[in-house]
């Protein structure tokens, strides 16, 4: 398994580089700040954060490779047979919060886990996906996002996109609000249904699809004119993002439960966010349209 783990590590570190380079090119000036860190229990990572750019208000692209003597509760909740095993986890996780309210927030994560125990074969699995959170909906953006997601899944089976699209819709759902976080995309976890090479190839396909899915949307909306009312709604909707990440997100829970680096775990939170008491959009407004036509489970293709 050593060579296989090294292959995944090499891919993930290269993916972080490629994504950061592409986002810096769109920024045209502002660059990522890199913070390398070590974890006392084993491993470390490279946190890269970009702030106060012309296009990106705040974004983070993290690489981490950590290990420990025992899997945390968040990782064994659905697989109790793994309790007590040592673990090794590696992944790239990113969140981009653009300045312009007409560019959606995007999130992507790809990861690999190995759980080991003396005298038993290692148990491994992949996870990840990407999802889109618009503040003002454009049908062509959502269709493009899902088209790229579908194409990334197609070589692995006709039903893979539909399965992982549904999983994404169900996962990125705020139960206490009874509403989706955004328009979804792909989500998968505990993936070992294929052999290692096929599973790894699928993770790479998802990771490689992020830039083709997101960059055209950023380019289309980056110069879209906006007013303060649009920013106010963007900040209000970002509150839902914060609520999901702090209440439900598996990656956040895993990081905190394993004594992870808090600054890196919470870099996904937006710089500017607000909550309003019992707010509802005006009838017939652009804001109401988001709820009625975009924050619903639908077939975008």
- Annotated catalytic residue 107: yes
Q: Which pLDDT tens digit goes with each residue over 30-45?
A: 999 999 999 888 899 9
The confidence score (pLDDT) of residue 253 equals 82
Confidence of residue 76 (pLDDT cuts 50, 70, 90): low
Cite the annotated binding site for a divalent metal cation by residue number: 97, 107, 146, 176
> How many whole angstroms separate alpha carbon 266 and alpha carbon 142?
27
For residue 81, with 0-12 CB atoms within 10 Å meaning exposed, 13-18 middle and 19 or more buried, which class applies? Answer: exposed
Q: Which pLDDT tens digit goes with each residue over 185-225?
A: 999 999 999 999 999 999 999 999 999 999 999 999 999 99
Q: Which pLDDT tens digit goes with each residue over 169-188?
A: 999 999 999 999 999 999 99
More confident residue, 6 or 249: 6
> How many whole angstroms separate alpha carbon 196 and alpha carbon 1?
10
- From the candidates 107, 144, 230, 235, give the one annotated as an active-site residue: 107
Q: pLDDT at residue 148 above 90? A: yes
DSSP 278: T
Determine if the pTM surpasses 0.75: yes
Q: What is the dihedral of CA 17, 42, 4, 33, to 10 degrees?
A: 0
> How many whole angstroms separate alpha carbon 112 and alpha carbon 12?
10
Strand ranges (DSSP E) for the chain? 33-38, 43-51, 56-68, 86-98, 105-117, 120-133, 173-174, 179-180, 184-191
Q: pLDDT at residue 105 above 70? A: yes
Cite the annotated binding site by residue number: 93, 97, 107, 109-111, 146, 176, 259-261
For residue 86, with 0-12 CB atoms within 10 Å meaning exposed, 13-18 middle and 19 or more buried, which class applies? Answer: middle
Cite the annotated binding site for substrate by residue number: 93, 109-111, 259-261
The residue among 16, 185, 192 whose CA lies nearest residue 113 is 192
Confidence of residue 69 (pLDDT cuts 50, 70, 90): confident
């Amino acid at each position: 398994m050593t060579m296989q783990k090294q292959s995944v590590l090499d891919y993930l570190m290269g993916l972080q580089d490629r994504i950061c380079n592409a986002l810096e090119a769109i920024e045209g000036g502002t660059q990522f700040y890199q913070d390398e860190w070590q974890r006392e229990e084993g491993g470390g990572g490279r946190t890269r954060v970009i702030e106060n750019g012309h296009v990106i208000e705040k974004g983070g692209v993290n690489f981490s490779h950590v290990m420990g003597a025992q899997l945390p509760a968040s990782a064994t909740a659905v697989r109790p047979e793994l309790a007590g095993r040592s673990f090794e986890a590696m992944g790239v996780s990113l969140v981009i919060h653009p300045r312009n309210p007409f560019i959606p927030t995007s999130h992507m994560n790809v990861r690999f886990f190995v759980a080991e125990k003396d005298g038993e074969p290692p148990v491994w699995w992949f996870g990840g996906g990407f999802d889109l959170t618009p503040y003002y909906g454009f049908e062509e953006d959502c269709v493009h996002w899902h088209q790229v997601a579908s194409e990334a899944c197609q070589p692995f089976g006709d039903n893979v996109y539909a399965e992982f699209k549904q999983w994404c819709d169900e996962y990125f759902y705020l139960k206490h609000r009874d509403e989706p976080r955004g328009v979804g995309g792909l989500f998968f976890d505990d993936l070992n249904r294929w052999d290692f090479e096929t599973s790894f190839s699928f993770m790479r396909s998802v990771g490689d699809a992020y830039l083709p899915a997101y960059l055209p949307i950023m380019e289309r909306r980056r110069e879209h004119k906006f007013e303060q009312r649009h920013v106010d709604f963007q900040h209000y909707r970002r509150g839902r993002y914060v609520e999901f990440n702090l209440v439900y997100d598996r990656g956040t829970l895993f990081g905190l439960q394993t004594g992870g680096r808090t600054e890196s775990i919470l870099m996904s939170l937006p710089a500017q966010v607000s909550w309003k008491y019992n707010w509802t959009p005006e009838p017939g407004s652009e804001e109401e349209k988001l709820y009625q036509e975009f924050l619903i489970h639908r077939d975008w293709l």
